[in-house]
Structure 1
């Protein structure tokens, strides 16, 4: 049986880390997207993909 994720049962320090992550992920993703346009290395593209997935996960409360 799968256990449902409930953000209200997290410890306070983990809630704070999550809130900081939500606030910083979008500007960091935009900066990485601009950087990838000008200097497209494989690492930059991989990092941009990871940041986009994290932004989507935070947006839809998957994390």
Structure 2
């Protein structure tokens, strides 16, 4: 049975790290989208896809 993590039971450094990632994922995604438009490569597209998935999972509280 999968147990859902409660954000208040996480350690302080882990909560701080999660909050920092939550704040930085949108600027990284925008930068990567501009970079992908200007210099498209397979790695850039894959990295942009990963950033979008992470941003959506933070938005919908899946992480």
| TM-score between the two structures when normalised by the length of structure 2 | 0.94
Q: How many residues align?
A: 63
Following superposition, which runs of at least 4 residues in structure 1 exceed 3 angstroms of deviation?
A: none
Over aligned residue pairs, what C-alpha RMSD do you find?
A: 0.8
More helix by share: 1
| TM-score between the two structures when normalised by the length of structure 1 | 0.94
String of CA shifts for 1:2-55, please: whole Å, max 9, x gaps. 212211111000000000001100000000000000111000000000000000
User: Can you give the 5+ residue segments of structure 2 that lack an aligned partner in the other structure?
Assistant: none
User: Can you give the 5+ residue segments of structure 1 that lack an aligned partner in the other structure?
Assistant: none
